[in-house]
Structures are given as C-alpha cells and as structure tokens.
C-alpha cells in the first residue's frame, strides 16, 4: 500500500530525518555536477524526467559492453545471458510492485504505452456503444486521450469525476458516477500537475463493489511511494522507467493474470506468437503475448539497476525525506507575497505547482533558468486541470531524493528575483 507521511505542524522548521544522507546520494548522480548558465545546476524538473544514478548508467554501458544479444530466440551464450538479464529485470519489477507473479509484468515503452495497451485490448473487448469509462479531472493527457480514442471507436462515453479547490478527488461524487454502464475506471496515483496522492484503497474498493476494474496511472508514484499492487488490489498499474531514475524507452504494465490471459494481443510481430501459418496464428502466453518484436533489453537492465538503487535506500525513507522537502518548500513559497500554490491537497507527493500574481509562468521559468534553476512551466500535459483552476499554466518545481533544502532556498531566491524584474 502507498505510504503517506503526515508531518507535524512545525516539521518545516526541524532538521531533516538524520538517516537520510542526501550528500552521499547526490554523489551518485554525475549530472548534478553540471553547471547551467554559469550556476550550479538546481534540477527541479523531476516530474518530467528524473536524473540517473551512476549505477543505472553503468548497467546500461555494461549491457552493451558485455551482454548484448537478441533475447528469447538464440541458443548461444550471449543470447541466453541477455534473456536471463531481461527476465531477471522482470522479476525485479515484480518485487518492486509486489505483484504475485512475474508474468503479470509486461515491458512496454512507457506509462503512456501501458495505458494505450489496456484501452486497446481490454477496452476494445469490454466496451460497447453507450458504455462508460470513468477517469478523474486531474489526469495527465496520457490517461485521457487513450480513453477518448477508445470511446470514439466504440461510441462509448468518457465520464469525469470532479476535484475540489484543493485538487482532491471528490470521493462521494466519484462513487455516484460508477454505474451499470461503467466498464473501467482509470485514475492517477499521484497527479503530475498538482501533486495530489489519490486515495486508491477507497477508489478501488468503490469500483470493485460494483465489479468495475481499475487502472492506476502510477507514473508519478513509482519514484516516491512504496507500491503494493496486491494490497491495493489494482487491476492494472502503469509506470515509466525514466521517471524513477531508470532509462527512457522502458515502462511497465502490471495486470492481474486473469485479466491479461483473456485480453487479445496489442501488437503483432515476433515473440508474441507460439506458431504462425498463413491460416492461423497461435499467440504466445502472457507476458510475451503483449511484447511483440525486439524489446528494450538495455532499458530493462537499466530499470533493474534503478530498482536496486531505490531498494538500497528504501522507498519509505525516500517518501519521508521528500515529504519533508515538500513541507519546507510549501511553507517557504506560500510565505512569498503574490505566490499562489495550485494543488493544496492534504496528501501530496513531491510536486509544487505555483503561479505569481501578474507574471506569466513562462517568464518565471525563463528567469529562474538564468539562475541555473530548472522548473517546468506550462500546462504539464494536464490542460483540464488548468481549466479547472481557471489558469493557462503554472510553474512547477518537482522534487527528487537528491534535492536539498539549499536548492529550495535557491528557488525562493530566484522567485524574489523574478518579482524584482517585474516590480
């Protein structure tokens, strides 16, 4: 189950949890030594993509130097070794998500592809005209558009569960929207635009009471929270390697085996078959049925290294440390006049979206960049969230396990500079 740390009121004033040695962690990330526009880089764009520890970089280099071959098909030494490495990465993901079996782990390109896969396999089979997909008003475009495409194909309806002014799902309204025509619920675990941690146990229990399966978009949760798909009873769970200190180009779809077994394949090609004739193709078993073509072997090896790295620190330690960072940053930024935080949910992870009165977020981002501070500005691929709050864009600082209190102080100093420029 996801860990949510509730902090005491005065937490921001206290020193950070002593067992967490952030300087030691920073030394694991070579890119943090970089200068940006003549300043030490302050990287606060982790929700877009995280930086990679040396262990991940070395694992990828090591794969190409010592272990590269195509998998599953060869009888030779290197092919067997690469296959073992790939399948051992699958087992690492299984342990990370606490899935029951490794065959419930499907390697895909990204969280985006994982969601499209479910929409176009499970969705294509189970939705008909007039059926409904329920999502929330805080979803990333990756958890909106695949369902819109499906709804267009099937003449089905996308139903949106509303959020309140703090950016929290309004649970009783959500429950009310689950009806006889609802075929699937798709919700984010953590919102990339607001930082809200959704109450998955309640959401999933409400849906399951009505026999509706739930897909969780866990792209923003995997780097920050400990995840237990069995305790959550999630039916599908999607993650992206690059957001959790792993490489780009690899992601994972977890699915309950009973659902995966009965779903049709997503793409056709090599490896997803057990036999092919022009008359009839017999599909391979899960997970290979969903992994057509040569997969991202080096990506899987890199993701394995990222999981080992996270395990070495401990997800609960990471969650606690990042929560302290977020509490400190929230307090410091809210104390600046003219700054408004967007997304003030009681349960949040690592994302601080804000606007400054009278100053466009792009100008905020550009001036911060001159100070070597990387934040993201724009709609964060969540335009409906912006619409909900009556704004076009925000500036977003998003934190990782290697960020420090000093970097938040630099952000605060940068915001003061922005205000001076526009004074």
In the set 381, 383, 412, 422, the catalytic residue is 381
For residue 2, what are its two tokens?
Answer: 């996801």
Nearer Cβ to ligand PMP (240/330): 240
**Smallest distance from the beta carbon of 252 to ligand PMP, in angstroms?**
11
Q: Cβ-count burial of 11 within 10 angstroms (0-12 exposed, 13-18 middle, 19+ buried)?
A: middle
Site string for ligand PMP, 302-321 (x = CB under 6 A): --------------------
How many whole angstroms separate alpha carbon 19 and alpha carbon 285? 45
How many whole angstroms separate alpha carbon 176 and alpha carbon 183? 15
Q: What is the CB neighbour count within 10 angstroms for residue 217?
A: 29
Give the SS3 label for residue 394: strand
Strands in 181-321 per DSSP E: 182-188, 214-217, 236-240, 251-255, 273-276, 281-283
Phi, psi of 121 (to 5 degrees): -115, -70
Does 140 contact ligand PMP by CB under 6 A? yes
**Smallest distance from the beta carbon of 114 to ligand PMP, in angstroms?**
8
- C-alpha separations of 132 from 184, 251, 327 in Å: 7, 27, 38
Does 240 contact ligand PMP by CB under 6 A? yes
Long-range pairs, 72-81, Cβ under 8 A, ≥24: 72/271, 72/288, 73/270, 73/271
Nearer Cβ to ligand PMP (93/367): 93
Selected binder of ligand PMP within 25, 89, 99, 111 (CB under 6 A): 111
Nearer Cβ to ligand PMP (188/199): 188
* DSSP codes, 357-378: TTB-HHHHHHHHHHTTEE-EEE
Does 112 contact ligand PMP by CB under 6 A? yes
Does 217 contact ligand PMP by CB under 6 A? yes
Does 386 contact ligand PMP by CB under 6 A? no
Does 350 contact ligand PMP by CB under 6 A? no
Among the listed ranges 50-58, 213-221, 291-299, 408-416, the one in contact with ligand PMP (CB under 6 A) is: 213-221
**Smallest distance from the beta carbon of 301 to ligand PMP, in angstroms?**
18
381 is a catalytic site residue: yes
Does 188 contact ligand PMP by CB under 6 A? yes
Residue numbers annotated as active site: 381
Which residues here bind ligand PMP, judged by CB under 6 A? 47, 110-112, 140, 142-143, 188, 192, 217, 219-220, 240, 381
């Amino acid at each position: 189950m996801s860990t949510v740390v509730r902090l005491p009121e005065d937490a921001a004033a206290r020193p950070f949890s002593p067992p967490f040695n952030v300087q030691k962690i920073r030394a694991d990330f070579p890119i943090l030594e970089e200068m940006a526009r003549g300043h030490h880089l302050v990287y606060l764009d982790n929700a877009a993509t995280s930086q990679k520890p040396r262990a991940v970089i070395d694992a990828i280099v090591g794969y190409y130097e010592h272990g590269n071959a195509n998998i599953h098909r060869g009888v030779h030494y290197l092919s067997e070794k690469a296959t073992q490495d790939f399948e051992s990465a699958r087992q690492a993901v299984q342990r990370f998500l606490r899935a029951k079996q490794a065959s419930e782990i499907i390697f895909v390109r990204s969280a985006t592809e994982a969601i499209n896969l479910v929409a176009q396999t499970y969705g294509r089979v189970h939705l008909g005209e007039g059926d409904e997909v329920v999502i929330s008003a805080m979803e990333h475009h990756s958890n909106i558009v695949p369902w819109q495409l499906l709804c267009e194909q099937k003449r089905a309806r996308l139903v949106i569960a509303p959020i309140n002014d703090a950016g929290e799902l309004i649970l009783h309204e959500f429950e009310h929207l689950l009806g006889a025509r609802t075929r699937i619920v798709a919700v984010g675990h953590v919102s990339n635009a607001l930082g809200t941690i959704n109450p998955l146990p309640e959401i999933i229990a409400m849906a399951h009471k009505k026999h509706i399966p739930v897909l969780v978009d866990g792209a923003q949760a995997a780097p920050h929270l400990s995840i237990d798909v069995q305790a959550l009873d999630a039916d599908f769970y999607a993650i992206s390697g690059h957001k959790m200190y792993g490489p780009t180009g690899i992601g994972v779809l977890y699915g309950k085996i009973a659902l995966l077994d009965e779903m049709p394949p997503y793409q056709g090609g090599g490896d997803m078959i057990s036999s092919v004739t022009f008359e009839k193709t017999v599909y391979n078993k899960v997970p290979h049925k969903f992994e057509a073509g040569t997969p991202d072997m080096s990506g899987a090896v890199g993701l394995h290294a990222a999981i080992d790295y996270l395990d070495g620190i401990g997800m609960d330690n990471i969650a606690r440390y990042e929560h302290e960072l977020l509490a400190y940053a929230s307090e410091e930024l809210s104390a600046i006049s003219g700054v408004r935080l967007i997304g003030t949910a009681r349960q949040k992870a690592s994302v601080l979206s804000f606007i400054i009165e009278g100053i466009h977020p792009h100008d905020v981002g550009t001036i911060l960049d001159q100070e070597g501070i990387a934040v993201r500005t724009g709609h964060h691929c969540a335009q409906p969230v912006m619409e909900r709050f009556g704004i076009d864009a925000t500036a977003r600082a998003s934190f990782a396990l290697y960020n420090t209190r000093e970097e938040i102080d630099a952000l605060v100093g940068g915001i003061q500079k922005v205000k001076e420029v526009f004074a």
